[in-house]
Amino acid sequence: MKALVWHGKEDIRHETVPDPEIEDDRDAIIKVTSCAICGSDLHLFHNLIPAMMPGDIVGHEMMGEVVEVGRGVSKLSKGDRIVIPFTINCDECDQCRRGNFSLCERSNRNKEMADKLYGHAPAGLFGYTHLTGGYPGGQAEYLRVPFADGTHIKVPDSLTDEQVLFLGDIFPTGWQAAVQCEIERSDTVAVWGAGPVGQMAVRSAIILGARQVVVIDRLQERLSMAAAAGAETINFEEESVVERLDALTGGKGPDKCIDAVGLEAHAASHIDSVMDRMKQMTMTANDRAHVLREMIYVCRGGGTLSIPGVYSGLIDKVPFGIAMNKGLTFRMGQTHVRRWTDDLTRRIEEGEIDPSFVITHSAPLEEGPGLYRTFRNKQDSCVKVVLKP
């Protein structure tokens, strides 16, 4: 089959690889009908997430049709149309039973290695680092789905691929970020980053009843997309984020802050961003944490910081004293995708939201390597890429 294969920093190739096979009774194989390039795929593209191996198939936002099931699979049949959550879930362990699907205790097949690094291993993930199992990803024609009974979202035939594909990652990720804020009707929610997850977080915060949603970015096309939903916008290259947020909140600061940027904050004129960028270039640091620092500074006392953005390692110069003295609450984590998807599927069906608004580029899988570059370079007003194997 054809797949997008990671070979190193900035080196993704469209190659022919062996077809996946049933390896365990609980596996299923799907024929991928749509997949997407996620912002966190760019962290892999930049080799900022440790323990990738040349030859790894990338991609963790995908859906398709079941073409084969193992003998132990009871909830799926050939022909079922499913979205695959990026977290692999056994559905049996204590964390899965608690709904903490991104912390499944059984699906990470490199658990021992991850335990040593993280203390306790997170779940297995598709198309990601070997610290999360090193499972082949879904930017491919076919995908093996381990623990298939727990690792799927059945979707109605009445909805298109474009409407439901993002149930596997960015929609529930933006939703969880907003839910973690415990939004009240008087709240101002500030969202850093108007990329795909930021766009979903903006709309989720609006649906959840925020009084005011503010989005911070530097790319006009992305700000225009956030404004379309009703968000106030701040272009951080044109105005002071701190001053504008103060102005929008009567000097109080936003009640809730969402970091939809993560470890690759843009190195603009802020001295900490420049320093972070230099440390990355000289391989002395992994994460550029400007957004985190700025959120801690501007957030209203007693507020909440929700962090769906990915961080990978040790973060330098985090003003934790400010966070402590302001009594801030931190909520974060990989998304417990299936905790939210029944509700979100229903919202899509009822026409409350249509996540396909975020798609700006759709192309055959073979164009994936070039579109990684386009997406990374923010060229051609690219916000979200969908690939068709």
Q: How many C-beta atoms surround the C-beta of residue 359 within 10 A?
A: 17
Distance of CA 1 to the CA centre of its chain: 26
Task: Give 29 or 69: the residue with its C-beta nearer to other proteins.
Answer: 29
Task: Give 231 or 234: the residue with its C-beta nearer to other proteins.
Answer: 231
310 with 259: CB under 8 angstroms?
A: no
Phi then psi for 278, rounded to 5 degrees?
A: -65, -40
Work out how close the CB of 357 gets to other proteins at its nearest, in angstroms, rounded to a whole number.
4
> CA 24 to CA 144: how far, in whole Å?
10
Strands 385-388, 28-37: pairing is antiparallel
Task: Give 114 or 191: the residue with its C-beta nearer to other proteins.
Answer: 191
Name the DSSP letter for residue 85. P
Whether the CA torsion 63, 67, 71, 74 is positive or negative: it is positive
Rounded to the nearest 10 degrees, the angle between the axes of helix 196-207 and helix 220-228 is 20
Q: Residue 330 pairs with which residues in a beta bridge? A: 305
Work out how close the CB of 6 gets to other proteins at its nearest, in angstroms, rounded to a whole number.
9
Task: Give 44 or 73: the residue with its C-beta nearer to other proteins.
Answer: 44
Work out how close the CB of 118 gets to other proteins at its nearest, in angstroms, rounded to a whole number.
24
338 with 101: CB under 8 angstroms?
A: yes
Task: Give 106 or 372: the residue with its C-beta nearer to other proteins.
Answer: 372
Work out how close the CB of 182 gets to other proteins at its nearest, in angstroms, rounded to a whole number.
4
164 with 345: CB under 8 angstroms?
A: yes
Task: Give 63 or 206: the residue with its C-beta nearer to other proteins.
Answer: 206
Work out how close the CB of 114 gets to other proteins at its nearest, in angstroms, rounded to a whole number.
22
Q: What is the CA radius of gyration of the chain?
A: 20
Retrieve residue 208's tokens.
């959840």
Work out how close the CB of 363 gets to other proteins at its nearest, in angstroms, rounded to a whole number.
13
Work out how close the CB of 148 gets to other proteins at its nearest, in angstroms, rounded to a whole number.
22
Task: Give 145 or 210: the residue with its C-beta nearer to other proteins.
Answer: 210
Distance of CA 3 to the CA centre of its chain: 21
DSSP output for 15-60: EE-PPP---STT-EEEEEEEEEE-HHHHHHHTT-SS---TTEEP--
Task: Give 121 or 163: the residue with its C-beta nearer to other proteins.
Answer: 163
Work out how close the CB of 178 gets to other proteins at its nearest, in angstroms, rounded to a whole number.
9
Q: How far is CA 125 from CA 55, 129, 135, 200, 250, in A?
A: 16, 8, 7, 21, 43
Task: Give 281 or 322: the residue with its C-beta nearer to other proteins.
Answer: 281
Work out how close the CB of 220 gets to other proteins at its nearest, in angstroms, rounded to a whole number.
5
Name the DSSP letter for residue 168. G
> Residue type for 202, please?
V
Phi then psi for 293, rounded to 5 degrees?
A: -65, -45
Task: Give 82 or 210: the residue with its C-beta nearer to other proteins.
Answer: 210
Work out how close the CB of 228 gets to other proteins at its nearest, in angstroms, rounded to a whole number.
4
> CA 273 to CA 66: how far, in whole Å?
45
305 with 278: CB under 8 angstroms?
A: no
> CA 338 to CA 336: how far, in whole Å?
6
